[in-house]
Amino acid sequence: MDFNVLVSDDFLNICTNNKIKIKDNKKIVTFINDFEDRKWRSSKFFNFIWNNIAETALNHKEREALFDKSREKLIESAKKLRLSEPTDTIGRGSEIAEIMLYAIMKHHYGALPVVPKIYYKQNSQDNAKGADSVHIIVDGDNYSLWFGEAKFFSNLSDQNFYQITNSLSEALKTEKLKKENSIITGLSDLNGLGIENELLDKIIKDLSPKNSIDNIKKLINVPIMIIHGCEITEETSLFDEDYISKMKKHYFEKANKYFLSQYNKLKEVPFYDLIKFHLILFPVPNKDKIVDRFIKNVEHYKAEAED
């Protein structure tokens, strides 16, 4: 990872709200960019996004075909992007969050990408529904499933937390999970991830529609990627202990608010206590400026594809 890990802790250790009865299935992980010449390093942020865009915009076969063709890979990735409408203030910039989540899953968690969602949004709206990220993490003879949510918000308001919680409530319904599993097992990409045949057979069997969802709840992890506008970051020009201290305090407070919202909404989900939730936060100075620059970059590469 190119960014500093600010917080990586079990929520149990920072929980200050006794109303949250189930705590040990939750974790908070936060990444943070630094500064140079008293300016937030936006170029570093965008380099990371564009260096990782192919993981979610292209399928395995396309990535392999463009393995050593960096410029062509960027152009093909840009072509796949179906950007949110300018009037969609909630969804605008969601593509950036999805790319960031895929990159973090790969570089921080060592996960294998299974369903490149931007690719499927371009090619099949049915397959694009559901989780924003689908990964598998292999640990010896075992594995875990990661169904992610990715959002880019202007701030970390209670309303935005409520929106995420509602989205998760839908995503964790049995029919939605079975649909996601059927997409995974129906993809040829699964065979190209380097998983040993015996474990691959087990995964396919576990995710079969004949198997009860109850049996795999303990395997499910939900990474919740939130890139967000941050006043503290916008008003800062130096990466120092004061900035770090303010951000940690801010995130501890927000994590308690979010997980209370989540617990109240999802506690009746069958085997909620077995599902593991990872709140992943990344601050930027200003959402609109980030999204505007990203869109200009996308339009540039799309224009090159038409030449």
Q: Which residue has the tokens 């990782």?
A: 52
pTM of the model: 0.89
pLDDT, position 128 = 43
Q: What is the mean pLDDT of residues 129-139?
A: 81
Span 142-198, pLDDT tens digits:
999 999 999 999 999 999 999 999 999 999 999 999 988 888 887 666 777 788 999
pLDDT tens digit sequence for 271-280: 999 999 999 9
The more confident residue out of 296 and 227 is: 227
The token duo for 300 is 């540039």
More confident residue, 293 or 188: 293
> 21: pLDDT confidence band, cut at 50, 70 and 90?
very high
Overall average pLDDT of the 278-292 stretch: 96
Write a three-state SS string for 42-53.
Answer: HHHHHHHHHHHC
Question: Quick one: how far is CA 257 from the chain centroid?
Answer: 20
Rounded (10°) CA dihedral 72, 65, 223, 203: 170
- Backbone angle region of 269, left / alpha / beta, with phi > 0 → left and psi within -120 to 50 → alpha: beta
Mean pLDDT across the chain, nearest whole number?
A: 86
Rounded CA gap, 33 and 74, in Å?
Answer: 23
Query: Could you report the per-residue pLDDT of 207-229, keeping only the tens digit for each?
Result: 999 999 999 999 999 999 999 99
Q: Alpha carbon 23 to chain centroid distance?
A: 21
DSSP for 61-123, written as a single string: HHHHHTTT-HHHHHHHHHHH--PPPTT-TTTTTHHHHHHHHHHHHHHTT-PEEEE-HHHHHHH
Q: Which amino acid is at 159?
A: Q
**H-run or E-run covering 285:** none
Q: What percent of the chain has pLDDT over 90?
A: 64
Determine the pLDDT at residue 253. 97
pLDDT band at 250 (very low <50, low <70, confident <90, very high): very high
| pLDDT range class, residue 127, cuts 50, 70, 90 | very low
Residue among 77, 113, 109 nearest 190 (CA): 113
At 118, the pLDDT band (50, 70, 90 cuts) reads: low
The residues with which 138 forms a beta bridge, in sequence order, are 143
